[in-house]
Structure 1
Amino acid sequence: MKLFTTVAWLLSFWCWHIQAEQLLSLQQQQVFAAERAFAKSMADRDLKAFEQHLSDEAIFFGEAVLKGKTAVVEGWKAFYQGKDAPFSWEPTQVEVLEDGTLALSSGPVKDPSGKVIATFSSVWRQEQPGVWKVVFDKGCALCHCDKKT
């Protein structure tokens, strides 16, 4: 009987673990999709679509720290003017907390010719089931460590 109980417990734990991994995978897929749609707003020159991905409490780091959705939109408005996007980005990695509330996405930032010029990191918060919004965003210029000092 003890062996049966142990096997049953192990099987139920294994099933729970598989379900947890599948849920995490679904959340990672949601964040990948949200980040890609966020990046598409730049390619499409659609500031309204950009704004829809921002949490009301968003903080973006750059030359100045932009705090709140309104400030971020105002600060990024210039990037959305003109026919061609000044840069693009795409996620290459997404990690989600086990409780499914926060995620980190990161990847390259490219100039119009496709040359990688920086990397980005964005923190996403699940504000409603399946709805992820950016709360923190920061780009970092590439390190040119091969330069002699």
Structure 2
Amino acid sequence: MRPALLACTLSLFAIHAVAAALPSEADVNATAAEVKAAEIAFARSMADRRFDRFTDYVAEDAVFNGREMQIGRAAVLKTWKAYFDAPKPPFSWAPDAIAPTADRHHAISTGLVHDQDGKLIGRYTTIWRKEADGHWRAVADQGVGVDCPIK
């Protein structure tokens, strides 16, 4: 086979393999629903004052960035433990958009953050990863206040 023809044939096989590997819209929507459920449960752990449940949603290699950066699960949990000490949660959050990747092993979620009186105080963005055990865990989280200018 001529080199150019061989290259074209191999390219067609490669394109077909990539196209075949892409998920359907239903698959992407199902993944988005899984991540939304994880995000809601994550937020519910704060509302229910259940730090033990919160900890299960934080990946070992997580990086959370809010008032200060926390690198690694231990640092995240050390900082966030204080948010669970009071009888009422200091804030709440809920997702308003979820976007999974085509491999369905990562997703981004974003939503609004409210203080305990219901006042809008910011927006969060979380990157999720589906772990080997099938559980979704936050690998990166960024919160910004409503007064944060977009640059």
What band does the TM-score fall into relative to the shorter chain?
Answer: 0.7 to 0.9
Instruction: Indicate whether 1:34 and 2:64 are aligned.
Output: no
Q: Displaced runs of 4+ in structure 1, greater than 4 A?
A: none
In 2, Cα distance between the equivalents of 1:81 and 1:132? 25
1:16-56: per-residue Cα shift (whole Å, max 9, x none)?
A: 8xx61111111000000000000001001111111000111
Letter in 2 for 1:73: L
- Give the equivalent residue in structure 1 for 2:12: none
Unaligned runs of 5+ in 2: 1-19
- Give the equivalent residue in structure 2 for 1:61: 65
Instruction: Indicate whether 1:45 and 2:49 are aligned.
Output: yes
- Give the equivalent residue in structure 1 for 2:14: none
CA contact (8 A) 1:27 1:130 kept: no
- Give the equivalent residue in structure 1 for 2:143: 139
User: Which secondary structure does the structure 2 equivalent of 1:119 belong to?
Assistant: strand
Q: What percentage of residue pairs aligned between the two structures are identical? A: 35
Pairwise CA distance, 1:142: 0.5
In the comparison of the two structures, how many residue pairs are matched?
Answer: 129
In 1, Cα distance between the equivalents of 2:99 and 2:148? 27
In 1, Cα distance between the equivalents of 2:148 and 2:135? 37
CA contact (8 A) 1:60 1:67 kept: yes
Q: What does 1:1-149 correspond to in 2, within 5 Å?
A: 20-128=24-132, 130-143=134-147
In 2, Cα distance between the equivalents of 1:81 and 1:51? 14
User: Which secondary structure does the structure 2 equivalent of 1:113 belong to?
Assistant: coil
Provide the alpha-carbon RMSD of the alignment.
1.8
- TM-score, normalized by length of structure 2? 0.80
